[in-house]
Amino acid sequence: MLLPPDPASSRWGGRFAAPVTYLVFGLVNILVFGLHAHGDAVFAFSPQFAKVSVPNLSLPAVATCFVCGGITIALAIVRLLDVTGRLRLGKVTRRVMIGLVLFLFVIALLAWAYAGQAIPFNVVNLLSGTLNVSIPIMLGALTGVVCSTSGVINIAIEGQLLLGAFCAAIATSVTGSLWLGLVCGALAGSLVAVLLGVFTISYLVDQIVLGVVLNTLVLGLTGYLYNAIMVPYGDTLNNPSTFGPWKVPGLGDIPIIGPVFFDSTVFLYLTYLLLAIVQIGLFRTRWGLRTRAIGEHPLAADTVGIRVIAMRYRNVILAGLIAGIGGAYFTIGSVGAFGPDMSSGEGYIALAAMIFGRYTPFGAIAAALLFGFTTQLQSILSSINVPIQSNLLLLTPYVVTIIVVAGLVGKVRGPRAEGVPFVKS
């Protein structure tokens, strides 16, 4: 191989980006939050009217910010030693460090924002809200993982979410059955997947291009049908009921964990289930091994008798069901009525979460939760008078993604044959 080495690894930006980013976070914790905080911040850990209540925690804001900043800077130094070769850290340790830096940043932010506020900051509301807000992103990202692992780039997640939301709303309004709406939403997701499959697997259209076009098509189609039939016949076509929360008996009463993880709509439990299915399926079954094979080296898979094209079709369509369920959450899981462009780009976020999570189910879910967390944090902080513009808060997750994708993670390698159509010769 005469090719020169990959330039990304030899440039300074690639190596020192991580420690420098940590350092910036640490300095923000101290100089921005620490020096401008006054009084104590109170954290509450149980929802209102809980059976078992956990006592509130009161922290002095200034000291908290300084401690968070100090630890972050210490982490930056450790990472610097790792980069220069004085210290060897494992992959897991590095990732834990990323998580820790972000966690400390959030603590400092909250301590600063809630210092001297009359209402305590409710941690349970933040966390359970995060989980619920993230449902479409998590399911979309899982869809992306399955498709990418099979060697098909799915940019049409956005379209799948939107059509899922639309069809779930119509089906529930017409039949009155929430479960039928859920099924129709899922099927709508796989309908988009069928189009994706026909055009990219059979007709070899570029997958990124077609994904973007399918999103435009669904956006236009749902917007058109909304104005053409949903607005004039709103009572019969766009008036669905929604799934109510269901508390898991026993588990739901555990302090902190219960209200966060086990007191929600069926969509959250479906997300747990689908995460488990995808994780076990991909890494513990014959189907998973074959799926990874057709994504990495379809020719080799074909040689040993795996039907690559049929398998890609099946995986893309099955994965479409997952995104369709995620889309149904928008209407029959939370808001009820359908509105144009309801998914507001969350499919693209799911895509970013998938790459951010390095094409693994758990990684994708974790990244999706990060996005949901910032959205939820923003909506909570905007309810108290924090002197941060809500728009600036809203753009932080996107900046963080760029930083993470560029600086902390570097080049993420997807499945080798991802995006390359397979032609049996």
Interface of this chain with another protein, residues 215 to 234, rule: CB under 8 A: 215-217, 219-221, 223-229, 232
CB of 45 to another protein, least distance (A): 31
Piece of 22-30, 63-71, 176-184, 209-217 that binds another protein (CB under 8 A):
209-217
What track of x and - describes contact with another protein for positions 123 through 162 (by CB under 8 A)?
Answer: ------------------------------x-x-------
Q: Give the footprint of another protein on residues 345-384 (CB under 8 A).
A: 345, 348, 351-352, 355
Strand ranges (E), 22-158: 40-44, 57-60, 121-122
In angstroms, the CA 356 to CA 269 distance is 24
Angle (CA) 389-390-391 rounded to 5° is 90
What track of x and - describes contact with another protein for positions 172 through 201 (by CB under 8 A)?
Answer: --------------------------xx--
Of these, 132, 207, 265, 376, which contacts another protein (CB under 8 A)?
A: 207
Decide: is 206 part of the binding site for another protein (CB under 8 A).
yes
CB 301 within 8 A of CB 290: yes
> In a 3-state reduction of DSSP, which class is residue 41?
strand
CB of 32 to another protein, least distance (A): 17
Of these, 17, 62, 76, 133, which contacts another protein (CB under 8 A)?
A: 17
- Provide the β-strand partners of residue 59: 41
Decide: is 284 part of the binding site for another protein (CB under 8 A).
no
| Of the candidates 344, 338, 26, the residue with the CA atom closest to the CA atom of residue 184 | 338
Piece of 8-16, 51-59, 86-94, 319-327 that binds another protein (CB under 8 A):
8-16
| Of the candidates 130, 128, 124, the residue with the CA atom closest to the CA atom of residue 256 | 124
Closest to another protein by CB, 115 or 230: 230
Q: Count residues near another protein (CB under 8 A).
A: 75
Decide: is 304 part of the binding site for another protein (CB under 8 A).
no
> In a 3-state reduction of DSSP, which class is residue 359?
coil
Decide: is 236 part of the binding site for another protein (CB under 8 A).
no
Piece of 66-74, 90-98, 242-250, 396-404 that binds another protein (CB under 8 A):
396-404
**Cα-trace Rg, the chain:** 23
Angle (CA) 368-151-161 rounded to 5° is 40
Decide: is 39 part of the binding site for another protein (CB under 8 A).
no
Decide: is 83 part of the binding site for another protein (CB under 8 A).
no
| Of the candidates 7, 18, 5, 6, the residue with the CA atom closest to the CA atom of residue 83 | 18
Q: Is 203 exposed, middle or buried (0-12, 13-18, 19+ CB in 10 A)?
A: exposed
